[in-house]
Amino acid sequence: MSTTAPLSVQIIVPGAELLLRYAEQLVTSAPADSFARMPMKDVNSAAFNIGHLSTYGDRVCAMLGRNDLITPMPYSVDLFKAGAPCLDQPGLYPEKDVLVATFFERQRRAIEAFRGTTDAALAAENPAEGRFKEMFPTVGGAVAFLLGGHVAMHLGQVSTWRRVMGLGSVG
């Protein structure tokens, strides 16, 4: 990575890329036929978590002024928006391959958009409203969370899902 990139980019990108490698380990051996299953109440399926995460890459690109990188989603984001319930209904969620490919494609685009950003763009006011803006008043803070902590939280849920499903840990 270029040492001319903002320091925050140099610090955050390696962690975001590490999370992508972890995500790959978590989903690769997960069977497609159980990817959307909820093994018990309050344990969200891998499909729900990966689908939810797949909707945030475009948000990052938009916050960084890179709307040119945004393409139509292959499924309804309403299934996965913040606050949407995870449901154990066969056929409700897109197939594993579609969810996984969408997540990785959009997350990689978001990381690339972040790599090319400037200090001025990161210092800009977060365009979101409400609690998210209160917690992260700048674009940089919001993007750092969306590329790091947010992904890690939901991958932790996928890890829990794997263990409850009898798939064990990875790594």
Decide if 157 contacts 42 (C-beta within 8 A).
no
Domain range for 130 is 7-164
Total domains, the chain:
1
To 5 degrees, how large is the angle CA 71–CA 72–CA 73?
115
For residue 171, being part of any structural domain is answered with no
For residue 170, being part of any structural domain is answered with no
- Tens of pLDDT, residues 112-163: 999 999 999 999 999 999 999 999 999 999 999 999 999 999 999 999 999 9
Beta-carbon-side half-sphere exposure of residue 32 (alpha carbons within 13 Å): 8
* Residue 75, domain CATH: 1.20.120.450
- Whether the pTM exceeds 0.85: the reply is yes
Which residues, in sequence order, are CB contacts of 35 under 8 Å at separation 6+? 27, 45, 46, 47, 96, 99
- Tens of pLDDT, residues 77-97: 999 999 999 999 989 999 999
